[in-house]
Structure 1
């Protein structure tokens, strides 16, 4: 190999002897490879991917770029840059040439890998998706929206809006926009952004049938909330408070005695997890006892139902937890954990939180209509009544862990009273947060199955059309073979009045699940290392891919 000094002299000689500068393999010493642009070669840095002009393909300029932009890499050997070269597109182009030929490889080599170029293409793809989606929304007879806002890693408030609309033979959900709120996030500011979006994209307020938001005052304030302002544009719009939020709020009730047990459980978990040493010692204890798990789980205060996973893991490792506080001389925690009735109450808490979490999971997901949401809540409320009746008879078979814990004994009268009180309170809270669930279930009965309803169950203006549908044998056969949404979309042009009423309900969002999942994606896309990124295009493409492939 030539010495560094000799190599530079050779490079200078070859560079000056040609009018159009050519790439020399030894330029890799400065961290540059060749990138073909038309008939001209230009140097590209393998570290930052920056490209220089053909005139910049000189040893002095390449070396200057290395020393000014990457001073820590000046003394790196040639092998280091060769490794970086392998990660760059050049290595892939070699494979392309072998498979597709040299012409294809030359065409691909003209594609730049700079950050700006990649971002530009993401935005172009996003814009194309947005145009297609807006065309579908405008063509839909009705559509609904859900919106929510969050604060990202750069302390910027991001307002997100999704739409649910009729497309083809079905109902789709797509992202509309992700807009950074530069100042206030009041109801007026949020409404102005959405109103401007409607106006710019020629969306009709008359076609909007539903708005789903969280319970924040800015969204649902009675006098000046966002929903109130939307209803000024279209009074027939139905507003929905996110069913996931309501279920979480309705679950936040516990008798004082059960709350004390929950607090002790939290203290034990915090004691084991608070310090690195305790975590390691507990892990060793679990290994010695050949436990299935080796760590407890934290919970999140703002998410009440996250306590379910924490309690479940604590109960699974209760034998290990019984030993650990004593070995660490935490007498108070040890005594509370071994107090009378503690394990039975803990078992019940594990069971009831498991049931609440199961309901929450059923309410999550894409393309779930509001009828399914209401059915899930209605079922759970009926189960609460059933469980209460069983406990009154001393039967705890509905609670798996509690039933196992009491295998050799009867249900304590004090715990029995606490469980009955808790189940009653839960039912009251669910009734408070879902006050009209029975009325809506009855009003929407014709949507779930029009062939098992009576003419009195529908509005007077659609009764004649309803009878035509009910006795249509072809429609009856289609109803058996199709899902609910596809059926009503298909018969929109045949029975427009009754189908339009059904689609008004079926296009409504029951939760802000899509916004919440997008916020989770936002956390991974916009990080502290990319805190100036405009994420609308990235979120749009990510959401679109999810809807197709997941």
Structure 2
């Protein structure tokens, strides 16, 4: 079945006008390094994405090893490099090195390919901008949570305390740096159970009790909880399948705009509900306001640094979403004549309304080639490695300690692929050794 699915996916990729790939590697329970490659292509007037292949990197995981694996698969299955228009990676030096990185080697085969690296990875880096004082208080909160969660006895005692007090939640959430949403969810639960945590520390006579009960730490808990919750919302917007650079760019630009808005109206804390709740009982000190302003400015600077060209393709985004709302002066000179032909094509306008963005540009690709080619460059390429990350999560359940010698390529394809196996074709290929009489 896995081989049949692979054959179908390869046939779709080869028949597509253009396609894009994303790749990522990880380390499994048996210390192997599986390389997972996904592809997005045009199939029957719509965009589809599916697992292209999975293989194990036998020795190192350098750019050469990754490129050899991808190039070997392309050569084995007669996939043309000329149709490749986008490659998405995790942003590691081995992938993006200007001299010998994977992307550099790909561009030697397909010079017009567009390189993107995952938006989620950048968001995680941009979030690490807390001022030293807030960071110090955050570290204390993490130590308190992990102190309770690390011990099985403390976990049970805290749960019993919450049950006796009839709280909505019974446990805290463990914090790990590996999980993207961990810090925001952990802080949210700690804020909800802050009185119970203080009581538990008092019963235990813990050294962090006085610090945790201080007004400064209380305010420092409320603000990070709010801001990390906002970052979590952004994170979830950047996840999922069948997402495009257009949607992800809109989400990033929206969040940057919110940061600028929050800075302008810093005195109005309604945008931060938990901080606003505490400030109804306490005064908003200038020192805390300055820290929040500094953090918001630092966040904005980081997002601007990691996404310097976030609006670079804005006219292409607008053109893709609604070409009939733009004026000819908004379009580059080399596309203006073809744009006018499209703009005043009433049949095309009706088709855009009825077909939707992806099917419309697929239909008119041969009619308005120059414009459609520019549109495909922002619709087809991946903007994150989410499918690969989801694939590695599935790998954890497939390759366990008890099955650590398993070759997971076929199992992973059957698990992850959106293409069902062609059962009638598979049955027809089998001989009937025991015919009925």
Q: What's 2:430 paired with?
A: none
Task: Please give the alpha-carbon distance, in whole angstroms, between the structure 2 residues aligned to 1:525 and 1:506.
Answer: 32
Q: What's 2:116 paired with?
A: 240
1:192 aligned to which of 46, 50, 68 = 68
**Structure 2 unmatched runs, 5+:** 422-437
2:354 aligned to which of 481, 504, 516 = 481
Q: SS of the residue aligned with 1:138? A: helix
Q: SS of the residue aligned with 1:405? A: helix
Q: What's 2:176 paired with?
A: 300
Q: SS of the residue aligned with 2:215? A: coil
1:446 aligned to which of 298, 315, 319 = 319
Cα pair 1:374 1:441 within 8 Å, conserved: no
Q: SS of the residue aligned with 2:26? A: strand
CA distance change for structure 1 residues 547 and 267 in 2, over 3 Å: closer, same or farther?
farther
Task: Please give the alpha-carbon distance, in whole angstroms, between the structure 2 residues aligned to 1:458 and 1:232.
Answer: 30
1:280 correspondence with 2:156: yes
Q: What's 2:194 paired with?
A: 318
Alpha-carbon shift at residue 271 of structure 1 (Å): 1.7
Alpha-carbon shift at residue 288 of structure 1 (Å): 0.7
1:147 correspondence with 2:23: yes
1:471 correspondence with 2:344: yes
2:377 aligned to which of 479, 504, 524 = 504
1:379 correspondence with 2:379: no
Task: Please give the alpha-carbon distance, in whole angstroms, between the structure 2 residues aligned to 1:479 and 1:294.
Answer: 52
Structure 1, residues 138-166: CA drift from partner, whole Å, max 9, x if none? 11111110000011111100001011110
Q: SS of the residue aligned with 1:163? A: strand
1:269 correspondence with 2:145: yes
Q: What's 1:217 paired with?
A: 93
1:136 correspondence with 2:12: yes
Q: What's 2:51 paired with?
A: 175
Cα pair 1:147 1:162 within 8 Å, conserved: yes
CA distance change for structure 1 residues 528 and 404 in 2, over 3 Å: closer, same or farther?
same
Q: SS of the residue aligned with 1:177? A: strand
1:526 correspondence with 2:399: yes
Single out whichever of 227-236 and 421-430 deviates more from structure 2.
Answer: 227-236
Q: SS of the residue aligned with 1:166? A: strand
**Structure 1 unmatched runs, 5+:** 1-124
Cα pair 2:9 2:419 within 8 Å, conserved: no
Alpha-carbon shift at residue 443 of structure 1 (Å): 4.4
1:421 correspondence with 2:294: yes
Alpha-carbon shift at residue 280 of structure 1 (Å): 1.2
Task: Please give the alpha-carbon distance, in whole angstroms, between the structure 1 residues aligned to 2:284 and 2:416.
Answer: 50
Single out whichever of 473-482 and 497-506 deviates more from structure 2.
Answer: 473-482
CA distance change for structure 1 residues 546 and 263 in 2, over 3 Å: closer, same or farther?
farther
1:201 correspondence with 2:77: yes
Task: Please give the alpha-carbon distance, in whole angstroms, between the structure 1 residues aligned to 2:238 and 2:364.
Answer: 28
CA distance change for structure 1 residues 546 and 388 in 2, over 3 Å: closer, same or farther?
farther
Q: SS of the residue aligned with 1:444? A: helix
Cα pair 2:316 2:378 within 8 Å, conserved: no
Cα pair 2:90 2:117 within 8 Å, conserved: yes
Alpha-carbon shift at residue 254 of structure 1 (Å): 0.3
Cα pair 2:146 2:175 within 8 Å, conserved: no
2:310 aligned to which of 422, 434, 437 = 437
Single out whichever of 438-447 and 260-269 deviates more from structure 2.
Answer: 438-447
Task: Please give the alpha-carbon distance, in whole angstroms, between the structure 1 residues aligned to 2:78 and 2:384.
Answer: 26
Alpha-carbon shift at residue 278 of structure 1 (Å): 1.0
Task: Please give the alpha-carbon distance, in whole angstroms, between the structure 2 residues aligned to 1:204 and 1:502.
Answer: 21
Superposition TM-score, scaled by structure 2 size: 0.93
Task: Please give the alpha-carbon distance, in whole angstroms, between the structure 2 residues aligned to 1:310 and 1:423.
Answer: 21
* Largest Rg, 1 or 2: 1
Task: Please give the alpha-carbon distance, in whole angstroms, between the structure 2 residues aligned to 1:280 and 1:247.
Answer: 35
1:348 aligned to which of 205, 219, 223 = 223
CA RMSD of aligned residues (A): 1.6
Task: Please give the alpha-carbon distance, in whole angstroms, between the structure 2 residues aligned to 1:386 and 1:478.
Answer: 38
Alpha-carbon shift at residue 494 of structure 1 (Å): 2.9
Q: Which has the higher contact order (CA 8 A, sep 6+)?
A: 2
Cα pair 1:446 1:457 within 8 Å, conserved: no
Q: What's 1:364 paired with?
A: 239
Alpha-carbon shift at residue 544 of structure 1 (Å): 2.1
